[in-house]
Amino acid sequence: MEIIIRQDADAASHAAARVVARLVREKPNAVIGLATGSTPLMLYRELVRMHKDDGLDFGEISTFNLDEYVGLEKEHQQSYHSFMWENLFSQINIKPENVHIPDGMAADIPASCAVYEQAVIDAGGIDLQVLGIGSDGHIGFNEPTSSFASRTRIKTLTQQTVADNARFFDGDESKVPPPCITMGIGTIMDARMNLMLAFGEGKADAIAATVEGPVAAIMPASILQHHPSAKVFIDEPAASKLQLADYYRWVYDGKPEWQADA
Ligand code: PGA
């Protein structure tokens, strides 16, 4: 794991955006896994800026989103379909047919999950997966005790995630659908690179456990310790409980120029 600590969320997001942009330039038909929530917003804003100002071209890029609520129509304001179109897709030149988001309204959810997994395979696998992390350590909606071998499937949110996400639903926990579809941890681990973002003190415990704790299903993100190419971009508050923070800073600051955005 590479831990990149930046002064604030903006600087960390910009550093992460440079990694995504480098992939898009080197592999114009790359397959990118995307996340929702507050955390990736600044990353998406920077990618939109790079598209508008620098001509970053998403014309042949394909995307797969991590998750979706079960029971929300695509048009629902809080569906992850709406989130992605509002915050990224409507502002870049991605082709709608290259966008993949789990269907929370599928009549046959297990069948639609199998189709989603096959679509990832048919696209050639995910080159780079963007991840947030839940305060309970989830990646995607793989809540604590999710199998490390899991594939896209239905899950039930923890009460903590329901409480965390109520802010998007007028602060009303009863409006947050507990069932969701999420890419599995096995699917996430198959991505060629994982790029995690985490900001704020509320993520400090989960980040410390993920990076420096034991690998255990109770802390799903800890499986990234076994990933050959995982980068964790965090701000100072999210880094505040890391034992080796000074080491991570020293490594990043000493990177040679040619490695800087790799
Ligand atoms: P957040 O969610 O970005 O809204 O904090 C992160 C997550 O649940 O993965």
Active-site position among 68, 136, 190, 236? 136
Please answer whether residues 69 and 79 qualify as being in contact, where contact means their C-beta atoms are separated by less than 8 angstroms: yes
Please name the amino acid found at residue 142.
N
Which atom of ligand 1 is nearest to 200's Cα? 5
pLDDT of residue 62: 98
pLDDT of residue 189: 98
- Residue 139 carries which DSSP code? B
The C-alpha atoms of residue 81 and residue 164 are separated, in whole angstroms, by 19
DSSP H or E run through 196: strand 193-198
The C-alpha atoms of residue 229 and residue 14 are separated, in whole angstroms, by 19
Active-site position among 46, 67, 127, 236? 67
Which atom of ligand 1 is nearest to 203's Cα? 5
User: Ligand 1: residues within 6 Å at CB?
Assistant: 37-39, 132-134
pLDDT exceeds 80 at position 262: no
Q: How does residue 256 score in pLDDT terms, banded at 50, 70 and 90?
A: confident
Nearest CA among 65, 39, 70, 74 for reference residue 164? 39
**Sign of the alpha-carbon torsion through 39, 167, 183, 124:** negative
Which atom of ligand 1 is nearest to 131's Cα? 9
Dist. CA 203 → ligand 1 center (Å): 9
pLDDT exceeds 60 at position 253: yes
The C-alpha atoms of residue 221 and residue 132 are separated, in whole angstroms, by 9
Dist. CA 247 → ligand 1 center (Å): 26
Residue positions counted in the chain: 262
Dist. CA 129 → ligand 1 center (Å): 15
Nearest CA among 94, 107, 204, 187 for reference residue 141? 187
pLDDT exceeds 80 at position 261: no
Residue nearest to atom 4 of ligand 1 (CA): 37
Active site residue 190: no
Please answer whether residues 89 and 99 qualify as being in contact, where contact means their C-beta atoms are separated by less than 8 angstroms: yes
Active site residue 227: no
Which tens digits make up the pLDDT trace of 128-173?
999 999 999 999 999 999 999 999 999 999 999 999 999 999 999 9
Please answer whether residues 45 and 75 qualify as being in contact, where contact means their C-beta atoms are separated by less than 8 angstroms: no
Q: Can you give the pTM of this predicted structure? A: 0.97
Active site residue 136: yes
| Tokens read off for 243 | 């034992």
- Residue 80 carries which DSSP code? H
Which tens digits make up the pLDDT trace of 51-97?
999 999 999 999 999 999 999 999 999 999 999 999 999 999 999 99
Nearest CA among 207, 178, 173 for reference residue 70? 178
Active site residue 143: yes
pLDDT: is 260 or 59 the higher one? Answer: 59
- Residue 149 carries which DSSP code? T
Dist. CA 257 → ligand 1 center (Å): 32
The C-alpha atoms of residue 79 and residue 231 are separated, in whole angstroms, by 27
